[in-house]
Amino acid sequence: MNLQWYDWVGLLGSFLVVGSYFLLQSGRLSGTGLPYQLINIAGSSCILVSLFGGFNLAVCLLQMTWIVISIYGIARGWRQRQTITVQPG
């Protein structure tokens, strides 16, 4: 087995995505927290990089969607935190 640099990056991405999901399911990460979203963006980005070795449209679309949803989660969390801190008390 002769892995190229992009294969290693893709393996790292897979580990990050699956690892963050495990941490979510085990209660060690919050699905609405910034760390979970950032790990998902990093993992999906790494998987996208791995497509340099062999393009796959389905994987590309899946990872791009995963990134967009994670960015949405970050924005949603940020807006919620802003609403909480701005409310008159």
Mean pLDDT of the region 14-38: 97
pLDDT above 70 (res 29) = yes
Write out the DSSP string of 8-38. Answer: HHHHHHHHHHHHHHHHHHTTSS-TTSHHHHH
As given in the structure block, the two tokens for residue 71 are 């960015």
Q: How many Å from the N-terminal Cα to the C-terminal Cα in the chain?
A: 62
pLDDT in tens, 51-72: 999 999 999 999 999 999 999 9
Contacts of 23 (CB under 8 A, 6+ apart): 29, 36
Whole-prediction pTM:
0.88
